[in-house]
Structure 1
Amino acid sequence: MLYKISRYFSKQTSQKTKQIFDREKHIINRQYALRTKIENIFLKQSSITLADNLSSIRKQYDGNIAYFGQGAAQFLQNLPNNLSPKTIYICDLELDFLEYSLQQIQNDEQLKGKFKILKVSEMTSQDNKTILVPICCDEDFWPFLDGHLQLIVSNMNLHWVNDLQVVLIKWLESLEPDGTLVGSIFGSDTLQELRISYSLAENERFGGVSQHVSPFISITEMGNLLTRLKFTLPTICTERNLYEFDSIYHLMQYIQDIGEGEALIQKRIGTFKQTIQSVSAIYESLFKNENMKVNSTFEQIYFSAWKYHESQAKPKSRGSATVSLQQLQKEIHQIAPEDKIIFGTLTEDDYQENIIKDEKGTKKKN
């Protein structure tokens, strides 16, 4: 029943916004990935990084947590010490995806005995173990009541959402005051080499270009969106990595194998064989490295933000500073004179000749 309801509301709410992605096609792509069983290196890295980011937060999470996306087992393997929740809701788009995630958790030797998996109707059970509750839902249809969640973890799924603003508003409403949202999403530099190659090839053949690579959000856009939606204390960071593939065909096959194949609604119908060959030739001419392999950029944006609470740190009022930036710069130079080289007030030769630090940290002159 929950599956049917989520599908219905997803389609009803999405009609108000322009559709970029074919969500059903995306689900088919992910179902294909379940059969290939190819390791998603981006998901693995994201699960580790999200857990690490949570461990640096000085707060104990002992309430209700919602985890949306793949890689639940990998995230639970790295669960930080400040997370001891009563309930973790494992949320995903399809029953198949939930069953796969739960199977990974149950088969993992490190996680055996740590969690108890229950249905929503069985949540009256009293147990010292953290309860895992699988919920099949769409990001557009968020089933949680206002203020029910202490933490939401979104792992590499938001780049397939048609209206990110609407989703984040619903997530913010479901957080309790001082509740936290942490997540990861592909950034705008992802697959930039493939995008460039397609644009050059199609412009040469057709005198125009069409989308073949999904549009990704930039780090600036993500920060502005969180701020505009009244999230507090937003923190955004990005990680760019360059990966090697034997050819453009191996790159596109890997993307398909991990369930990240394109699912755009508006695109050029059909891709000619000659166009693909032209894309491959351009890609290799521009982005082949010394190892005779092609490079591909993948950017992962990590973000965290809070729902407002009066106890949160607030910026000082304007004009309340007691130390000027100029005075602060002077004090930094006194502590670390090597910084003067950066600011151009001391040459490196002068620094090497005139300043020597002994083992006690005192300064001596030649």
Structure 2
Amino acid sequence: MQDPIIFDRRAVRLHRDRAAATVGSVHDILDEAAERLLDRLDDVNRSFGRALDIGGRGVVAARLRARGIETVSIDLSHSMVSRSDAMRVVADEEWLPFGPGSFDLVVASLSLHWVNDLPGALVQIRHAMRPDGLFLASMPVLPTLGVLRGALLEAEVDLCGGVSPRISPFPELRDCASLLQRAGFALPVADADTVMLAYREPLALLRDLRAAGETNAVALRRRTTPPRDLVPQALHRLGDRRPHQTVLRMAMMTGWSPSPDQPKPLKPGQFTVPLAEAIGDRSEALLRDGQPD
């Protein structure tokens, strides 16, 4: 059975081609997201020799190379990947052209949310990693752009009597760790990080989305020109707050390619102290001392 087509990958590539000339205007946002993701490397007591940067738009590769890590950057768009100062490959995230064990670090900063078969892409990423390699990824999750999504939906219902998807569907945070586990990563973790963005006017948010190559590529989108009043009405519904606040909520995902040397969770029956006894000891200590140990 063929996987459902959620995104128009040709549109994704064309949007990135166009955005290659403007993405510099949102460098600060992309760089902040990359910094927060790569900060997790500081918590790992090991070095990495060769990294794969997936869709980093020139930001991630610069940070990896500053850490002394040899880096290969890939992107669906030739124009966008040309922004990287690392070795560059035009490649589709859904069809990675790398053999097993090619990298000991893979980083995907805000770049996997336009992939149709995300579980399949994660499996390919894991196969391209050496044993005990580290995978770091960030993805927008709900409620990112929720206010804008609602404003567009309400305005289009009023104007057309129906709606067309205009913003990418985002997963819930709780889905992300299970995606890593399903793809075979060891020790999967997904936690949340939030960037608050303030704009003088709501229209500036739409300009930034376009500049970053994040305009609508949903396969079921309406292909005709939207009603002339759609955006003005949607922006009016966002209100006249100054500044306009927008939430970028990210799932920060960490997983390791399996290795025999990794620590394993204890199996049932392997615990040396019964849970009831451990809780009892803890409760007695709290009653005796009046505070946690």
TM bracket, shorter-chain basis:
0.7 to 0.9
Tell me, what secondary structure is at the counterpart of 1:176?
strand
Tell me which residue corresponds to 1:38: 25
TM-score normalised according to structure 1 size: 0.70
Which residues of 2 match residues 133-152 of structure 1 at below 5 A? 133-152=87-106
Alignment-derived partner of residue 230 in structure 2: 275
Tell me the residue number matched to 2:197.
243
- Partners of 1:162 and 1:72 lie apart in 2 by 23
1:79-128 deviation digits (Å, cap 9, x = unpaired) = 686xx55x4222222332232222xxxxxxxxxxxxxxxxxxxxxxxxxx
CA deviation string 1:252-290 (max 9, x = no partner): 112112221222221233321233332122211xxx54x
How far is 1:326 from its partner?
4.4
State yes or no: 1:28 paired with 2:11.
no
Where does residue 354 of structure 1 map in the other structure? Answer: none
The corresponding residue for 1:55 is 42
Are 2:61 and 2:73, in contact at CA under 8 Å, matched by a contact in 1? no
Residue-pair matches, total: 287
Match of 1:308 in 2: 258
Q: Equivalents in 2 of 1:333, 1:141: separation in Å?
A: 59
What percent of counterpart residues are identical? 22
* Aligned counterpart, 1:212: 166
Q: Evaluate the alpha carbon distance shift between residue 241 and residue 77 of structure 1 in structure 2; reply closer, same or farther with a 3 A threshold.
A: closer
Contiguous gaps of at least 5 residues in structure 2: none
C-alpha distance 226-73 of structure 1, shift in aligned 2 (>3 A): closer
Contact 1:47 1:71 in 2 (8 A): no
1:96 to 79, 87, 105: 79
Measured in 2, the distance between the counterparts of 1:28 and 1:52 equals 31
Equivalent of residue 177 in structure 2, options 214, 223, 236: 223
Contact kept? 1:19, 1:265, Cα under 8 Å: yes
- Aligned-residue CA RMSD (Å): 2.7
What are the Cα deviations for residues 136-159 of structure 1, in whole angstroms up to 9, with x where unaligned? Answer: 211122111122221211122101
1:95 is matched by which residue type in structure 2?
H
Q: How far is 1:44 from its partner?
A: 0.5
Q: Which has the higher contact order (CA 8 A, sep 6+)?
A: 2
What is the alpha-carbon distance in structure 2 between the residues aligned to residue 170 and residue 74 of structure 1? Answer: 20
2:123 to 169, 179, 197: 169
Give distance in 2, aligned partners of 1:179 and 1:185. Answer: 20
